[in-house]
């Protein structure tokens, strides 16, 4: 099991009042699974992503990552786990504009203390896997949105993380580039990568193996699409 969230609640403080945002979330993700978390704006997706990605802590409940109780870890240990075991992909790519594609992808390995020769070799290999071996000396500004996101995915995967965590990975892309990113996720999934993808788009979520939906901070099994069909069925 890669992720095991048990009875996770999260409140934000507004002045002196705690405002609950996540309610008793139960979520388990097995190694090699490809999960989509759907939900409308304001439902708590980013809050949940920040907890899963060790960028924020739950108010109550237990979070086991890779079998390890995150409550037992110091902040230093948490950032080590975050850097070594989680690959992040964001809607807006977050690439460094002045660095080449190759340098962007090699960067996590620099932080991990890998020597230069190996860094560049591994970054090149990863860029070949995402179909961008011809673009390694380009700057991010010279790439299309879809290509930028493939660079970001190569960067997320270069340290061979236990989990690929993506927040609206197609949110800034046109339909065709979005489909290409989904093809790449399908390829990584077939190679055994564990993926958790957050999206509000049913057309994107349907590429995953399993869909859960978050509404008002509560997790429901099953996606929007299925539910909508039921409601349409009821109405007719």
Q: Which is nearer to ligand ADP, 12 or 111 (CB)?
A: 12
The residue within the footprint of ligand ADP, chosen from 7, 12, 79, 92 (CB under 6 A), is 12
Q: Which is nearer to ligand ADP, 21 or 102 (CB)?
A: 21
159: contact with Mg ion by CB under 5 A: no
Site for Mg ion in 43-62 (CB under 5 A): 45-46
8: contact with ligand ADP by CB under 6 A: no
Widest CA span in the chain: 64
45: contact with ligand ADP by CB under 6 A: yes
The residue within the footprint of ligand ADP, chosen from 29, 38, 44, 158 (CB under 6 A), is 44
H/E element, 78: helix 75-85
The residue within the footprint of ligand ADP, chosen from 34, 37, 38, 47 (CB under 6 A), is 47
Helix H, strand E, coil C: the string for 9-74 is: EEEEEECCEEEEEEEEEEEEECCCCEEEEECCCCCCHHHHHHHHCCCCCCCEEEEEECCEEHHHCC
Using CA atoms, how far residue 215 sits from 146, 218, 229, in Å, is 29, 5, 17
With CB under 6 A as the rule, give the number of residues binding ligand ADP: 10
From the list 34-42, 57-65, 75-83, 203-211, the region that binds ligand ADP by CB under 6 A is: 34-42
What is d(CA 35, CA 175) in angstroms, rounded to the nearest whole number?
20
Interacting partner of 41 out of Mg ion, ligand ADP, none (Cβ under 5 to 8 A depending on kind): ligand ADP
39: contact with ligand ADP by CB under 6 A: yes
What is d(CA 141, CA 88) in angstroms, rounded to the nearest whole number?
20
21: contact with ligand ADP by CB under 6 A: yes
Strand-pair category, 3-14 with 68-69: unpaired
Residues that bind Mg ion (CB under 5 A): 45-46
């Amino acid at each position: 099991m890669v992720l095991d969230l048990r009875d996770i609640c999260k409140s934000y403080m507004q002045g002196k009042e705690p405002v609950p945002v996540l309610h008793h979330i139960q979520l388990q993700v097995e190694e090699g699974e490809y999960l989509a978390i759907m939900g409308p704006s304001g439902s708590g997706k980013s809050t949940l992503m920040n907890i899963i990605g060790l960028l924020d802590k739950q108010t109550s409940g237990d979070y086991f990552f890779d079998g390890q109780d995150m409550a037992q870890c110091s902040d230093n240990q948490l950032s080590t786990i975050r850097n070594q075991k989680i690959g992040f992909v964001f809607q807006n790519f977050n690439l460094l504009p002045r660095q080449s594609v190759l340098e962007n992808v090699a960067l996590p390995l620099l932080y991990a203390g890998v020597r230069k020769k190996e860094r560049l070799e591994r970054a090149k290999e990863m860029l070949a896997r995402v179909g961008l071996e011809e673009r390694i000396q380009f700057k991010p500004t010279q790439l299309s949105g879809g290509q930028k996101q493939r660079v970001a995915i190569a960067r997320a995967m270069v340290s061979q993380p236990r989990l690929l965590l993506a927040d609206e990975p197609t949110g800034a892309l046109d339909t065709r580039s979005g489909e290409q990113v989904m093809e790449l996720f399908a390829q990584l999934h077939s190679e055994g990568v564990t993926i958790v993808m957050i999206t509000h788009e049913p057309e994107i979520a349907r590429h995953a193996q399993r869909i859960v939906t978050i509404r008002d901070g509560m997790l429901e099994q099953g996606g929007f699409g299925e539910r909508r069909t039921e409601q349409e069925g009821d109405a007719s």
